[in-house]
């Protein structure tokens, strides 16, 4: 059974930093693209970033470019999102998701971790 477990969320002041982690199990992590998707309170889904199996390709939504960095450790079956210069509008539930092979459709999702940016 595929499991994705996010951690690292919390309350942070504007301008602060957080590092989210996603622990993967139940599948061969190194074979899949992985994504982060967020959902602000009461709002829709917003794709944030994704990363190729070997880390050679990464893509970001414009609103986080230069502030967020996606990374992975295939030996630890883990995905990360380093978030710097956080803003109030980054407040959301952040989901880790596994992409369908040959597509960026998101086949499996974690339960999410909540990030709140507030003073």
Partner 1 sequence: AIQLTQSPSSLSASIGDRVTITCRASQGISSALAWYQQKPGKAPKLLIYDASSLESGVPSRFSGSGSGTDFTLTISSLQPEDFATYYCQQCNSYPITFGQGTRLEIK
> Is residue 33 within the footprint of partner 1 (CB under 8 A)?
no
The minimum distance between CB 75 and partner 1, in angstroms, equals 26
As to burial, measured by CB atoms within 10 angstroms (0-12 exposed, 13-18 middle, 19+ buried), residue 51 is: buried
**Stretch of residues binding partner 1 (CB under 8 A), selected from 7-15, 17-25, 59-67, 68-76:** 59-67
Distance separating alpha carbons of residues 78 and 26, to the nearest angstrom: 12
CA atoms lying within 13 Å on the CB side of residue 64: 25
Among 74, 112, 114, 116, binds partner 1 (CB under 8 A): 112
> Is residue 119 within the footprint of partner 1 (CB under 8 A)?
no
Report the SS3 class of residue 14: coil
Among 1, 56, 62, 66, binds partner 1 (CB under 8 A): 62
């Amino acid at each position: 059974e595929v499991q994705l477990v996010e951690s690292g969320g919390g309350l942070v002041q504007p301008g602060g930093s957080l590092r989210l982690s996603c622990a993967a199990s139940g599948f061969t992590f190194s074979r899949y693209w992985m994504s982060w998707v967020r959902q602000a309170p009461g709002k829709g889904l917003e794709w944030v970033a994704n990363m190729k199996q070997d880390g050679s390709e990464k893509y970001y939504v414009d609103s986080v470019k230069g502030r967020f960095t996606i990374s992975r450790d295939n030996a630890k079956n883990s995905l990360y999102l380093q978030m710097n210069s956080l803003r109030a509008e980054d407040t959301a539930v952040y989901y880790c998701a596994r992409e369908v092979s040959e597509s960026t459709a998101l086949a499996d999702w974690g339960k999410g971790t909540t990030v709140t940016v507030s003073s």
